[in-house]
Homo-oligomer: A and B are copies of this chain.
Amino acid sequence: MRPSIVLFGDSITEESFGEGGWGAYLANHYSRSADVILRGYSGYNTRWAARVLARAVTGIPSASVAAVTVLFGANDASLPTRASAFQYVPLGEYRENLRAICALLRDRWPAAAVILVTPPPVDERGRLRFIGGGGGDGSGLPERTNQATGEYARACVQVAVECGLRVIDIWSRMQMFPGWETSFLRDGLHLTPRGNRLLFEEVVWALGDANLSLEALPADLPLCSDIDPDNAAKYFEEEEEEE
**Contact of A48 with B229 in the complex, beta carbons under 8 Å:** no
Count of chain copies: 2
Chain B residue numbers with a CB within 8 Å of A211 are none
Chain B residue numbers with a CB within 8 Å of A86 are 227, 229-230, 232
A163 in contact (CB, < 8 A): no
A38 in contact (CB, < 8 A): yes
**Contact of A1 with B227 in the complex, beta carbons under 8 Å:** no
Chain B residue numbers with a CB within 8 Å of A47 are 236
Instruction: Give me the interface of A with B, judged by CB distance under 8 Å.
Output: 1-2, 14-15, 17-21, 23-24, 27-28, 31-32, 35, 37-44, 47-48, 51-52, 54-56, 58-59, 61, 63-64, 85-87, 220-221, 223-225, 227, 229-230, 232, 235-237, 239-240, 242-243
11 A–B contacts from the bound complex (CB under 8 Å): A1-B59, A19-B19, A42-B223, A48-B236, A52-B221, A56-B221, A59-B63, A85-B229, A86-B227, A86-B230, A87-B232
